[in-house]
A and B are shown apart, each in its own frame.
Chain A
Amino acid sequence: MNGADPEMVVEGLVEMGPGGPRLIGSHCLGCGTLYFPQMPGCPNPDCHDKRLERTLLPDEGTLYSYTIQRYQPPPLFRMDDWAPYVLGLVDLGAGLRVMGMLSGIGENEVEIGMKLRLAVEPLYRDAERGDVCTYMFAAAGDRA
């Protein structure tokens, strides 16, 4: 994904930078907690400041757990050439765990603890918008 920013399924989740895509989250100035996606406030009961700033989250993590989505989800989800896919829960550090589809990792290759790196991949092709993408996680090193 070089050149123009990709068309995303929803705005405000991903920023394309020189080092690749990064998830956009919130960082609490009071307690230091990281959140994804951006939050309207900090729910930490021990935090008294609760002012949040927009931040870019770590782009590498480890797979905490996963499943394989065997049934086609309801129509809000759109994907060309639908086939079952791996859905992962990825630990990005600092206690932040993010769910997302895994890219390029088959169900026989997926393993808890594997190193992953954020990616942006097309989900479907729209007549007006062209390729519409979402964030995914790919094996770390694939895109080095």
Chain B
Amino acid sequence: MTTKPIRGLERYYEYRERWKAIISDMEKSPVPNPALLALFRLFLENDEKTIDCAENNKPFLSSWYGNAPEIYAAMGIHYICVVDNLLAHQSFTDDLAGIDANIVPDDMCGLIKLGAYAVEKGLVPTPTGMIAMLEPCDAQSVLHESWINNDAWKDVPYFALDPAYRSGKEDFEYFVGELRRMIAFLENLTGIKLDWNRLREVIEETNKQYEIWDEYNQLRRAVPCPGGSFQGSGIGWAISQHIMAGHPGATDLFRMLLADEESRYKANKGWLEKENSRVLWADLIGTVNAPIGEWLEKEHGTVVVQDFQGYTPYSHIDTSTEESMLLGLAKRNLAEVPMIRQARGNVDVFIEDVIRIVEDYKIDCVFFPGHVGHKDQSASVGFLREACRELGVPLLVLTMDIFDPRYLPMDKFTHIVNEFFETHKLGKFK
């Protein structure tokens, strides 16, 4: 007798086998990169958990960053972000071409299109519950709407966190109420009761992670920058937001990143032999960023020293009481997670972050990718322009989809950046 395959798991088996093969090859390498090896092992462990949950009817959630994943982690509930694996495995699939035939309008973010496509095509297993957040992203609600209208997902119970508009005390208190409602939803859905002591342990582990990440960021202020473009942002974001929150393996990985950068800093060495310019990438980083970072370094001796995804001024959460933990989580997830931090409320946070990063990290120029999904930020470009002019740093405004390299092809990107650098005597023209 053959059993019916579980929807979405076929792809996850592929991911699992690919991670295993990559890890095995890396282990055989004479000089394995320990940080990458640790990262891939965490990804594999996460995918194995997903497969285990789907195969054995264990509860797991579909979630998105900024939803206080520390709470699910403390409850021992596994969670996935639908697009993570699609992004990580994009070079092995034709998913990018697949999104063109999807129902999501063309002018929306590639990530949203991928998310809708993944559920529509059955590339992710159906979760037990869904936690949504009404984020500032222009299309997030469309994504959730498409999921709950999908045949396989239409009966999945969901809870949507409502973020407050600003970042004052009363806004955080309002969001604490939202988190309490989410806990009640999860307890009701899974029958698992939140253990507040376990939440304390999880938060304390994440406190350690963010402290190390902060130290890593401080070192990047050094000239020359001791780390490569987008380096910590990509890894740090993945292991803090998209795998089980408070995983000690993630803390070890943060330590590795820090140690690597610190060794170069102490030896007074930069990531590049000769650093010509330092860039701030004023947005999240997507799938376009790795080749961009490599090209900037190789062609122009330029390092992207900071970006909004890596710039994580996460505050230490006071774990003394239940209320202080929830208040800390409210603040972290509402006012510190990138994008939700810069795009919610008024423009001040966005501009203040740019000013602070330019000054602290001795930035020579600002790249604003004009991501198609971040129309809120594109509407603020006038303020950004004024700020950059006052700071005396050139600003390059692009029009990209940071999750779809076809939107602004690399040859167009390099042409514009070459013109920009030549005009402002930056990069190899310095």
A binds B: no
